[in-house]
Structure 1
C-alpha cells in the first residue's frame, strides 16, 4: 500500500515535538504512526530521548542540551518525506487469544448494550467475538490496550457515570473501541464479559500493532480455566 501522508509537526513542550496525523481512529493512519516511530528510532539521532506513538500522533522527546526544536522539526519533516515514498507492508502481527465469559455476572452492561443496539445478547456476543482487533496503542494504565474496530452495529457510548471499581480482566466496549482492564481500576466503558485466567502480566504482553481475538466460553468453562490458572 502506498502511503499518503497528511501530517503536521507541532511544539509539545520545552523538550518535545508532536507529529500529528489526521485525527481519526484508522488502522492505516495508526500504521503510519508506528512506521514513523521505527524510522525515527532507526535513524539514531543523538538527541532522541523517547518516541511515543498513539492513535494518530507521535510524540518525540529530545535532549535540549543537544539540539533545538527547529532542528528536530527539520529532521521529522525529512522523515515524513521519506515515509511518503514508502510502501507499507502488512507485517505478520502477533495474535493474542483470550477466553471470555459473557455471562451477565461478569458483563453487567451486556443487557444494556443489547437494549441500546437492538441486538440480542447472543448477537452481541457473536458480533464482539467474531472480529480480530488491532492494538492501536497502549495507554491510560500500563497494559491497557486500545483495540479496534468494534462493528458499527455494536458501538455504544461510554457510561454516563463511570464505575469506581472495574475488576481486572473485564472486557469492555465504548464507541469504536474495545479493551481489557489490565487491573482493578475505575472505568466508564460498558463491561460485557471477563477474560479467564487473567493476571497482571497478561496485559503487559500486548504491544501496539498486535492483534486480539476473543473466544466465548461458558461459565463452567470459565471457572475451570480460572481454577487451572490459580493452581
Structure 2
C-alpha cells in the first residue's frame, strides 16, 4: 500500500521540489545556525560545530567542500550579522518547511493551513533544527572526552548518534507539520524508517562517488560539486516523503 501511494502521489516529483526549496533555504539556514551558535560559543567554535554538522549531513565530499567554501566566502563578505539580518535569515530558511507542509498535507489528505500559520510553523521548524544543531555541538564536546582505552567516549557510537538525530528530525516533521492530529507512534515508526534509510543512503552515496563508478566529473566538470549536492538533496527529499507516506498508511490502518 505504501508503494502504491508513493506512486499515486508522485513522490519523486515532490522530492525534486523539496530539493529545490531546500537548496534555496540552505545557506540562509546555515548562516542562521552559525549566528545562533555564536551566542553560545566563539565564532570559530560555532563554525567548527557547523562543519561537524555538515559532515554528518552531506556525504558527497566535493559537495561538502562547496558548501563549506560558500559559507566561508559569505561570512567574509557579510561580516557580523545583526538582529535584522538574523530575522531575515530565519524567514528565508523557514521557506523550506512551509513548502514541506503543503506536500505532507497532501500525503495525509488534509487541507492546508492559512498562510501566516504555515510561515509560523516553518519558523518553529527552523528553531527545532537549531536545537538539533546545539545537540550536535554537545555530542561533539562529549566525543573529546578520552576513555582509559584511549578511545573517545562516543567514537563507537557515532553511527547510532547520527541515526538517532536523523530519526528525531524526521519524526518531528511528521508529527507537527501536517495539518492533522497525528499520533506519536506511527510517526515515530516512519521517522525511524526514514532515519535508518537516510544513514544507509549516505553510506551508499559516498561509496558510489568514491568508487570510480560515478562519472559526474567527466559529464559536469566544474559543476560536479553542485550536481552532487542537488542529487543528495533529492535523495533526502525522497526518503522524507516515503517515510511520511509510511507513517500516514500506518495511522490510517491502525490508528483510525
Greater fraction of residues in helix: 2
TM-score range, shorter chain: under 0.3
Greater fraction of residues in strand: 1
Give the TM-score taking structure 2 as reference length: 0.23
Give the TM-score taking structure 1 as reference length: 0.25
Max Rg structure:
1
